[in-house]
Amino acid sequence: MAAPKFQVKPAPSSRPTQAIPARIPLGTLAPDMARLDAEVKQITHATRMAAYNAETALARALDGHYARAGDEAYALIREALTTSGDICPGNSELLIRLDPLTAPRRTQALAALCEQLTAAGACYPGTDLVLRYEVKPRPSPA
């Protein structure tokens, strides 16, 4: 076998390899940053996991009610969770009325999701008020 006609040389370095530390303390890079305590970090992770699980459960509940559930379920849930609405306490129920979403098909899917959530018959924590969800009707064009 013939020897190669060229050789690859390592790139010249302006610093020796030993001068680059393996770890750098956070305070030297960003003095205003602080490391979270282990308990705070665990609470933060638990909250994020609970939010993700709730979002996933709501997205799965859209299956069969939203034609594009496979592609847009999470986007629809994010929009629904950030939309405005009204909270109307009653004698034995707590009515949550959400404003319509950006597209009629999304609003219909949200209305179907509201029916499922209402059918669950959940109570607001610490009270006997049953949660009832609905979507406000879209205002008719004048």
Q: Give the C-alpha distances (Å, rounded to integers) separating 96 from 6, 22, 60, 138.
A: 74, 54, 21, 16
Binned at pLDDT 50, 70 and 90, residue 13 comes out as: low
Give the pLDDT score at 25.
Answer: 78
Q: How many residues are given for the chain?
A: 142
Q: What is the pLDDT of residues 72-126, one digit of tens each?
A: 899 999 999 999 999 999 989 999 999 999 899 999 999 999 999 999 999 999 9
Phi, psi of 94 (to 5 degrees): -120, 110
Q: Locate 14 and state its tokens.
A: 């302006």
Binned at pLDDT 50, 70 and 90, residue 21 comes out as: confident
Of 3 and 58, more confident: 58
Weakest-pLDDT range from 13-17, 22-26, 123-127: 13-17
Going by C-alpha positions, the residue among 103, 113, 106 that lies closest to residue 58 is: 113
Residue 6 has pLDDT above 90, yes or no: no
Pairwise CA distance, residues 40 & 38, whole Å: 6
Beta strands per DSSP E along the chain:
85-89, 93-98, 130-135
Give the pLDDT score at 9.
Answer: 67
Q: What is the pLDDT of residues 27-72, one digit of tens each?
A: 777 777 766 688 888 999 999 999 999 999 999 998 888 888 888 8
Pairwise CA distance, residues 62 & 112, whole Å: 8
pTM of the model: 0.67
Give the pLDDT score at 14.
Answer: 61
Instruction: Delimit the domains of the chain by residue range.
Output: 38-135
Binned at pLDDT 50, 70 and 90, residue 16 comes out as: low
